Structure 1
Amino acid sequence: MTARTIPLDLDGYTDLPEGKIAAVVTYLEMREPPAAPLAEPLPLRPVAEPDLAWYRRFYAAIGLDWLWTSRLLMDEAKLAAILHHPGNELFVADGDAGEAGIVEIDRRDPADVEIAFFGLVPQATGQGLGPRMMAAALAKAWRPETRRVWLHTCTLDHPAALSFYRRCGFTPYRRAVEVMDDPRLTGRIPREAARRIPLIG
């Protein structure tokens, strides 16, 4: 089945078909490691070949309210191929109340390293853990062969995410529009997720 192309008006509004949502994605990069740590690095615990059910629960706890759904909607074989790939590194930050955050680093291209996922569970936010976790993530991401570390965020994400990444030393370099099925309408995630984003359709 061929995907439907939605013409994008580059100088105005574009109506979306019923059941679709859209986000503006900003890509950010860092071309050299920070001269000094952003904060005292938070210890990160590596998780080799993570259990998929555990991973999905943790991923959802962090990102479901921001409509992080790519890994939730992925089939088991594809998810396992990513998470168990030797070039994909998963780390957990532990807080006083248990598992607090996740850092996933994709270094399948050793020179061009992506921080694929970075986030804290809601109860761990507002405690100053974000800069400490990013300091640790950057220390893990940068190696002698690394030429660039990059990540992306979007307008569905936490409203402070973009400014946080810029404060961490990342520079925006590209913007895109992502259009997708609203997963709450397909039954793949609860309809109550991300209440701030209206359900239409």
Structure 2
Amino acid sequence: MDVTTWYLEQTSRSDLLPAKPPSIEIDIVRAELPSPEFSRFLLTAVGGDWHWTNKLPWTWDQWAEWLDGGVETWVAYHRGTPAGYVELVPQDGGTVEIASFGLLAWAIGRGVGGHLLETGVARAWDLADRWPEREPTRRVWLHTCSLDSPVALANYRARGFRVYDTRVNVPGDEYEGETPGPWPGAGPRTRALGASGGPSAAPAVPGTPPERP
């Protein structure tokens, strides 16, 4: 099966479009202290059903190096329980990548995804306010693919992202077989804690974007 990958971007803060409020109370907080343990938990809890496997083999030191490179992790909470997260990676030239974004299973279908994405993108646009040594943000980008949730692309577009490149290729070995899930034996995503419907968003796998035409 071929995999289609869409590369999307915003080139102005005014591109960001608001989302409807979620149906539950949500607090979105930056994890200010780099924590490999917490970041790996988020990766598996959110991405275990979506082939988020690229960082699973990493050692603690590799996680620490990644986080110490300026990565910002913004986590959505409901009543003290994580609901999802956004991972922002600053790059050269005033560019910020949304490297990971998604929800835990129980938060799906509650309007959290659009709200979290809106907040995460806003924090990408004002990232230099928190890191004065960095250039002001001029571009925010991400990519998603046809192995992600079928509503992922629509969610990104609804927040004002535009597709600037599309590529089709054959998936590698990392996409073969069943997804690992949050941990061995964990129940299917749709049975988790009363979740309903499909995910509000799906992951953007970190990487190097293609050059824009």
The unaligned stretches of length 5 or more in structure 1 are 1-20, 196-201
**Deviations 1:130-183, CA, capped at 9 Å, x for gaps:** 121112112211137211100111111111001110111000111233632136
Partner of 2:148: 157
Aligned AA for 1:55? Answer: S
Structure 2 length normalisation: TM-score? 0.69
**Deviations 1:9-37, CA, capped at 9 Å, x for gaps:** xxxxxxxxxxxx76321110011113675
Q: Where in structure 2 are the equivalents of 1:103-118 lying within 5 Å?
A: 103-109=86-92, 111-118=94-101
How far apart, CA to CA, are the structure 2 residues paired with 1:81 and 1:99?
24
The change in CA–CA distance for 1:164 and 1:81 in structure 2 (over 3 A counts) is same
How far apart, CA to CA, are the structure 2 residues paired with 1:186 and 1:50?
30
Structure 1 length normalisation: TM-score? 0.73
Q: Where in structure 2 are the equivalents of 1:85-100 lying within 5 Å?
A: 85=69, 87-96=70-79, 98-100=81-83
Partner of 2:54: 70
Q: Is the 8 A contact 1:91 1:103 kept in 2?
A: yes
How far apart, CA to CA, are the structure 1 residues paired with 2:158 and 2:81?
27
Partner of 1:124: 107
The answer to whether 1:182 aligns with 2:162 is no
Aligned AA for 1:182? Answer: E
Aligned AA for 1:168? Answer: R
User: Which is greater in Rg?
Assistant: 1
Please state which structure has a larger fraction of its residues in helix.
2
Q: Is the 8 A contact 1:29 1:151 kept in 2?
A: yes
Residue aligned with 2:49, SS: helix
How far apart, CA to CA, are the structure 1 residues paired with 2:90 and 2:59?
22
Note the C-alpha offset of 1:47. 1.1
Residue aligned with 1:70, SS: coil
Partner of 2:210: none
How far apart, CA to CA, are the structure 1 residues paired with 2:165 and 2:38?
33
Q: Where in structure 2 are the equivalents of 1:18-57 lying within 5 Å?
A: 23-34=3-14, 38-39=18-19, 43-57=27-41
Aligned AA for 2:7? Answer: Y
Q: CA RMSD in A?
A: 3.0
How far apart, CA to CA, are the structure 2 residues paired with 1:169 and 1:59?
25
* 132-141 vs 180-189, which moves further: 180-189
Q: Is the 8 A contact 1:73 1:188 kept in 2?
A: no
The count of residues paired between Structure 1 and Structure 2 equals: 173
How far apart, CA to CA, are the structure 1 residues paired with 2:161 and 2:17?
14
* 92-101 vs 38-47, which moves further: 38-47
The unaligned stretches of length 5 or more in structure 2 are 129-135, 189-213
Q: Is the 8 A contact 2:103 2:113 kept in 1?
A: yes
How far apart, CA to CA, are the structure 2 residues paired with 1:84 and 1:27?
26
Partner of 1:147: 138
The change in CA–CA distance for 1:113 and 1:182 in structure 2 (over 3 A counts) is closer
How far apart, CA to CA, are the structure 2 residues paired with 1:74 and 1:89?
19
Q: Is the 8 A contact 1:25 1:178 kept in 2?
A: no
